[in-house]
């Protein structure tokens, strides 16, 4: 397999939370994830928070609790100088719209992404992301949510998915999902169709 050739121009999509923005400190990730996700008959199902929970969640989205992940934001700023088309695809629900818009302004993301998609219609996150990935015909999509990636990877066979996780080194998990530990692993592990063994 050949290394990724930087001349290729690609459509690249990124998730927001846990990719560019951290969860609040002191709360284990799995608790936050569990609040949102539940499984029903093996199907992926995300829970929409109740009103009191929404208020708590809004508090947890105060800017000092949601720090940017600096090395990932700077990677993004670097690749924004290349010719790739970049998209942000976040399944944040409508109740977080004001906080999210403030955050996008603070990070200057309007100047980086061609389009930013948010789940302000409160769809199921995996269905929302699936629709957008399909519509944009992404070459690459990066997320930290593995169950979600498994769902969308099955339906978008020409997209390569990268799961940002705590792995020590990149590992190809399925035909089109690769686990990575840092965003710059994307380009070392991307193989376009002509060089792919698949
Ligand atoms: Mg995320």
Task: Give residue 14 CA to ligand 1 midpoint distance, Å.
Answer: 9
Q: Report d(CA 72, CA 52) in Å as an integer.
A: 32
**Assigned token pair, 42:** 């093996």
Give residues whose Cβ lies within 5 Å of ion ligand 1: 15, 17-18, 144
Q: Report d(CA 165, CA 161) in Å as an integer.
A: 12
Q: Is the pTM of this model over 0.85?
A: yes
Task: Give residue 8 CA to ligand 1 midpoint distance, Å.
Answer: 27
DSSP state of 105: H
Task: Give residue 16 CA to ligand 1 midpoint distance, Å.
Answer: 6
Task: Give residue 18 CA to ligand 1 midpoint distance, Å.
Answer: 5
- The torsion of the CA quartet 77, 81, 87, 88, rounded to 10 degrees, works out to 10
Distances (CA, A) of 160 to 30, 38, 75, 86, 172: 25, 26, 19, 15, 11
Task: Give residue 70 CA to ligand 1 midpoint distance, Å.
Answer: 16
Task: Give residue 194 CA to ligand 1 midpoint distance, Å.
Answer: 30
pLDDT tens profile 43-101: 788 888 889 888 888 888 888 888 999 999 999 999 999 989 999 999 999 999 999 99
If one compares 142 and 185, the residue with the highest pLDDT of the two is: 142
Task: Give residue 125 CA to ligand 1 midpoint distance, Å.
Answer: 10
Q: Report d(CA 191, CA 193) in Å as an integer.
A: 6
Domains of the chain in sequence order: 17-189 (3.40.50.1000)
Mean pLDDT of 104-115: 96
* DSSP string for residues in 154-181: HH-TTSEEEEE-S-SS-EEEETTEEEES
Q: Report d(CA 20, CA 78) in Å as an integer.
A: 14
């Amino acid at each position: 397999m050949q290394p990724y050739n930087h001349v290729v121009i690609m459509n690249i999509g990124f998730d927001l939370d846990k990719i560019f923005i951290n969860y609040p400190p002191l709360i284990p990730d799995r608790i936050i994830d569990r609040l949102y996700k539940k499984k029903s008959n093996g199907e992926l199902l995300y829970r929409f928070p109740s009103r009191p929970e929404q208020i708590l969640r809004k508090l947890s989205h105060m800017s000092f609790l949601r720090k940017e992940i600096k090395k990932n934001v700077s990677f993004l700023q670097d690749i924004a100088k290349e010719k790739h088309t970049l998209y942000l695809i976040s399944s944040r629900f409508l109740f977080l719209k004001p906080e999210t818009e403030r955050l996008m302004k603070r990070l200057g993301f309007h100047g980086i992404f061609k389009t930013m998609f948010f789940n302000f219609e409160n769809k199921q996150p995996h269905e929302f992301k699936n629709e957008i990935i399909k519509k944009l015909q992404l070459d690459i999509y990066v997320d930290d949510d593995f169950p979600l990636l498994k769902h969308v990877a099955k339906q978008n066979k020409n997209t390569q998915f990268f799961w940002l996780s705590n792995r020590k080194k990149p590992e190809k998990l399925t035909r089109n999902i690769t686990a990575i530990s840092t965003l710059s692993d994307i380009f070392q592990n991307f193989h376009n169709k002509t060089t792919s063994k698949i």
